[in-house]
Amino acid sequence: MSSNLAIKLRSGTRQAHTSAENVGFMKCFLKGVVDRDCFAKFLSNLYYVYSELEAALKSHLEHPVISAVYFPELNRQSSLEKDMVFYYGDNWREKVTPSPAAQKYINRIREISISEPVLLLGHAYTRYMGDLSGGQMLQKVAQSALKLSGYEGTSFYNFEQIPDKKAFKDKYRQALNELPVDDITAERIVAEANNAFGFNLQIAQDLEGNLIKALGQVMFNSLTN
């Protein structure tokens, strides 16, 4: 039995995807306006989210569905640690904490990890597919705007173990499509992926205040209107 989960995820999250791109922080980012402090804060929130998500996925490797789409080469935690050292120095752990939106996201991952681990796939799909797709463009924007060389300060976007991203995404989608999950479970995973988009949206919205302070309200308005 084929679940066609990747196909369902793609069509079922289309609207959420558009909303995520229209957040002020992302609109400015896509126009090449990146404030170093805001970007560092953005990555620090992702550090906490990925640490939680990757620990949760790893703890369910006995789970038939999760083990079928577990690819350790996707893991971002250690890359994000490199970025934290770059922006905050060696004692970065004393300087960063998750924002309220990131904390809600983390709590949700913990909750489903205990109650219904299969839903973690909604989060894995949303984050990793995004990182391998649009994330690659964001890396170039950040690199250029912040005058960074190579992947310094943007290790998060560097998938060293995935040289051919397109081939990998095809493989990942195929693995999702072949999962033995019924339609009801697939719908719940899609709903959870939409949840993940919502949490990511809130993390970006949380940063708007910082960005407005950095750019000034007038500049921010002209970039986002």
Residue 71 phi/psi, 5-degree rounding, is -125, 100
Nearest CA to 214 out of 63, 21, 42 is that of: 42
Cα torsion at 156, 158, 162, 167 (round to 10°)?
Answer: 90
Name residues of the chain where pLDDT drops below 70. Answer: 1
The predicted pLDDT at position 173 comes to 97
CA angle at residue 170 from 19 to 106, to 5 degrees? Answer: 45
Query: Which distant-in-sequence residues (6+ apart) come within 8 Å of 198 by Cβ?
Result: 16
The predicted pLDDT at position 225 comes to 87
| pLDDT tens digits for range 161-201 | 999 999 999 999 999 999 999 999 999 999 999 999 999 99
Q: Are 128 and 70 in contact (CB under 8 A)?
A: no
Query: Which distant-in-sequence residues (6+ apart) come within 8 Å of 40 by Cβ?
Result: 83, 87, 88
Which domains, ranges and CATH numbers included, belong to the chain? 14-224 (1.20.910.10)
Helix or strand holding residue 85 (H, E): helix 77-88
Report the SS3 class of residue 48: helix
Nearest CA to 13 out of 112, 91, 129 is that of: 129
Q: Are 118 and 222 in contact (CB under 8 A)?
A: no
The predicted pLDDT at position 164 comes to 97
Q: How far is it, in rounded angstroms, from Cα 6 to Cα 14?
A: 12
The predicted pLDDT at position 1 comes to 62
Q: Phi-psi category of 158—alpha, beta or left, where left has phi over 0 and alpha has psi -120 to 50? A: beta
Q: Which residues of 151-187 are buried (b: 16+ CB within 10 A; e: fewer)?
A: bebbbbbbbeebeeeeebbeebbeebeebebeeebbe
